[in-house]
Amino acid sequence: MILCIDVGNTNIKYGLFEGDTLKVSFRGATELKRTSDEYGTILTNMLSIQGIAKESIDGAIISSVVPALNYTIQHMCAGYLGVEPLMVGAGLKTGHNLRVDDAREVGADRIVNDVAAIQKYGAPLIVIDFGTATTFNAVNEQGEFIGGAVAPGIRGSMDSLVSGTAKLPRVEIETPRCAIGKNTTTNMQSGIVFGFAGLVDYIVRKMKKEMKNPDVRVVATGGFSEIIAKEISCIDYVDKLLTLRGLKHLYDLNSSVGKN
């Protein structure tokens, strides 16, 4: 089995594949101060709960937007699983050209999402990831990343609203019945959910216009993708497993890693 690890700013997502089938997935908090032993203990415990022996893992691949954790997670894979993981970055074959000013600035997660979306849905595409940041990737007819946009994340925007004010409470991020809220909670929910829906709709329309193709398909992933997709018609597909499947695809392209 192949372990795919997506290290994000807020969470680390794990997916275990047997062939092309995702057998299990889970996530944990991203903590910079945790050691490789701590991460290894968490991972092996999660595998044990799922009834999976760590010896059954034949390889691993990591995508990370937190450079400070790269060595820690790599060391964890080597020490606890006995595999040297592939790392998404320079030198890894992706088959995905980046037509931007500096390819080194493009986050590994954005590349992985594009690869998975192209494989499953075809190009051209706009790929939106509702994560710690809200990212928009524009992919042309040739399957090339031609640029995009980065907006604040939904959770971070709510946190900023609460921490920056004296009286606003922390509320659940869910869709209110009306845009005109009748209390503080529904006022905040309206501003966050409908505000981000409007942001997404406008950016997608602008991108389609610049791509000169009104029929570009839009794929969304990430924690709040379903909530926003229900409010606007521009999102064609919601795929919560996009990143993990992209990692598995990249592993298959670069499958020279095995057990130590």
Q: What is the pLDDT of residue 91?
A: 84
What residues contact 40, with CB distance under 8 A and at least 6 apart? Answer: 76, 79, 80
Query: Distance between CA atoms of 187 and 198, rounded to whole angstroms?
Result: 16
The model's pLDDT over 137-160, given as tens digits with 9 standing for 90+, comes to: 999 999 999 999 999 999 999 999
Q: What is the pLDDT of residue 45?
A: 94
**Catalytic entry in 20, 37, 102, 109:** 109
**Does the structure show a pLDDT above 90 at 64?**
yes
Name the β-bridge partners of 17: 2, 22
**Does the structure show a pLDDT above 60 at 258?**
no
User: What tokens appear for 7 in the block?
Assistant: 């290290």
The model's pLDDT over 103-114, given as tens digits with 9 standing for 90+, comes to: 999 999 999 999
How many residues are recorded in the chain?
A: 260
The model's pLDDT over 4-48, given as tens digits with 9 standing for 90+, comes to: 999 999 999 999 999 999 999 999 999 999 999 999 999 999 999
pLDDT band for position 62 (cuts 50, 70, 90): very high
**Does the structure show a pLDDT above 80 at 239?**
yes
Q: What is the pLDDT of residue 21?
A: 94
Q: Determine whether 37 is an active site residue.
A: no
